[in-house]
Amino acid sequence: MNLLTYNPENRFQIIKLYTLYWLGYILLFSLIQGLPEKDFIVAWRNEWYSVLPKICFVTIVVDLLMPKLLFRKRTVIFFMAYIVMILLFAFLQRLIDNYIILRYYLTFWKTEPLLSAPVFLYNVSKLQFVVTIPVAFRLFYHLAEEKNKVQTILSEKLQAELTSLRNQFHPHFLFNVLNSLYSKILSKSDDSAEIVLKISDLLRFSIYDVNNKSISLENEIDYLKNYIALQQLRFDDRLQLSFSVFGEIENHSIEPFLVLPFIENSYKYCLDENNQGWITIAISIKEDWFVVKIENSLAENNTPIENISSGIGIANVKRRLELLYPDEHVLTIKNETTSFFVSLKLKMKDGSH
């Protein structure tokens, strides 16, 4: 609430608030002091004479001492300066009372000594009264500003972290896909060309959507289908797959690449010692909730369980879920002896990307 640092529109609003405040103050004390004597006009006029020091005092405290001292953690110096200022302006008020108001307008009143304790303390109390509301308002405004700054910093940090997480995930995914292509090329498989085409489709999708805040659920599921088809080319008949989608997928959106790491993980660990395995993937959409359940075979002692549930992709998704769906997701991971199960439930966003 510093008049010197606001843009013209805000400055006008603050000046208007100050004006209304001081008019209200003058009216209040004119009524308090004028009604007992039934002389409201005189009390009104006297308050106008004495209001200037109060305005100066409040302005100095609110627009100078608070920003320069109190808000910079120099609390002791602030209170010392405040005490000096309130005593100084109380004395200035006594000068106005004795040499202007009592001399020219209230000649029938007895003039008290300038440092008369009761009258001096009365002026101190009036200054304290008149500064309380502006100080409270300025303090509230400062706290709101600080909260906004913290929120802005947290928001920027969140966006930076999400961008970093996406960028971590993208090369990780490409690394696994290119490994599939490499193994096919070594074996001179006829599927190599088809794999290249599917990789091209995946890259086109991931490059354009990896940094989007959300994509349509239809596009996400198409992306998963493409990835699964690519992996099936890699595993041939060694892997039994069940993939199903239930519910209406239109008019919903989702953060991209939240499901793929779990599917990728299931392909990575599904084969047993005989190079045989199975994966079951079920996706359902009901009442704005997206649910995906993934279960895959797992050979006993084939891979340490802690390595399966704490890889780069899984850890990445867990962190992204915490950031993007803090109270709107349920992630369940179960490590069984011969199988690995993941269930993810999260609140859908309305509309498509």
CATH classification of the domain holding 283: 3.30.565.10
Judged against a pLDDT cut of 80, whether residue 304 lies above it is answered with no
Q: Which residues pair with 279 in a beta bridge?
A: 241, 296
Question: Are residues 234 and 87 part of one domain?
Answer: no
Q: Are residues 211 and 142 part of one domain?
A: no
The pLDDT, as a whole number, for residue 80 is: 95
State the pairing for strand pair 215-216/289-297.
unpaired
Which residues lie across from 253 on neighbouring strands?
216, 349
Structure tokens at 229: 């088809």
Q: How much is the pTM? A: 0.54
Domain range spanning residue 322?
189-350
6 — pLDDT class (breaks 50, 70, 90): very low
User: Which of 151, 171, 201 marks a domain boundary?
Assistant: 151
Is residue 152 classed as helix, strand or coil in its secondary structure?
Answer: helix
What is the SS3 assignment for 298?
Answer: coil
Q: Give the pairing type, strands 349-350 and 277-286.
A: unpaired
Which string of b and e fits 205-231 if b means at least 16 CB within 10 Å? bbeebbeeebbbbebbbebbeebbebb
Q: Are 216 and 352 in contact (CB under 8 A)?
A: yes
At residue 61, what is the residue type? V
Q: What is the pLDDT of residue 141?
A: 87
Is residue 235 in a domain?
yes
- Side chain identity at 132, as an amino acid letter? T
Q: Average of pLDDT values for 264-276?
A: 80
Is residue 212 one of the residues assigned to a domain?
yes
Grade residue 61 by pLDDT with cuts at 50, 70 and 90: very high
The mean predicted confidence, pLDDT, of the chain is 79
**Do 117 and 206 fall into the same domain?**
no
Which of 96, 129, 151 is the C-terminal boundary of a domain? Answer: 151
**Does residue 35 have a pLDDT over 90?**
no
What percentage of residues in the chain have a pLDDT greater than 90?
A: 19
* CA–CA distance, 252 with 177 (Å, rounded to integer): 28
Exposure b/e, 289-310, CB count within 10 A at least 16 = b: ebbbbbbbbbbeeeeeeeebbe
> Could you give the 3-state DSSP secondary structure of residue 89?
helix
User: Which of 192-196, 317-321, 338-342 has maximum average pLDDT?
Assistant: 338-342
CA gap 291, 347 in Å, rounded: 9
Q: Closest Cα partner for 265 from 297, 234, 242, 240?
A: 297
Regarding whether 304 and 201 lie in a shared domain, the answer is yes
- The answer to whether 171 and 206 are in contact (CB under 8 A) is no
- Tokens 């340490």 sit on residue: 304
Q: What is the pLDDT of residue 307?
A: 52
Q: Residue 5: pLDDT above 50?
A: no
User: Is 50 a member of any domain?
Assistant: yes
Examine residue 177 and state whether it is found in any structural domain, yes or no: no
My answer on whether 196 and 113 are in the same domain is no
Same domain, 242 and 131: no
The number of folded domains in the chain is 2
| End-of-domain residue from the set 91, 123, 151 | 151
Does the structure show a pLDDT above 50 at 17?
A: yes
The sheet carrying 339-347 orders its strands as 239-246, 277-286, 289-297, 339-347, 329-335
202 and 120 in a common domain: no
Sign, CA dihedral 67-70-76-82, equals positive
Work out the widest C-alpha separation in the chain, in whole angstroms: 116
**Residue 157 maps to a domain:** no
16 or 247: which carries more pLDDT confidence? Answer: 247
In a domain, 91, yes or no: yes
Q: Are residues 202 and 339 in the same domain?
A: yes
331/255 same-domain check: yes
Are 129 and 224 part of one and the same domain? Answer: no
Q: Which residues pair with 280 in a beta bridge?
A: 242, 295
238 and 335 part of one domain: yes
30 and 125 fall within a common domain = yes
For residue 291, is it within any domain? yes
Q: How confident is the model at residue 308 (pLDDT cuts 50, 70, 90)?
A: low
183 located within any domain: no
**pLDDT greater than 80 at residue 86:** yes
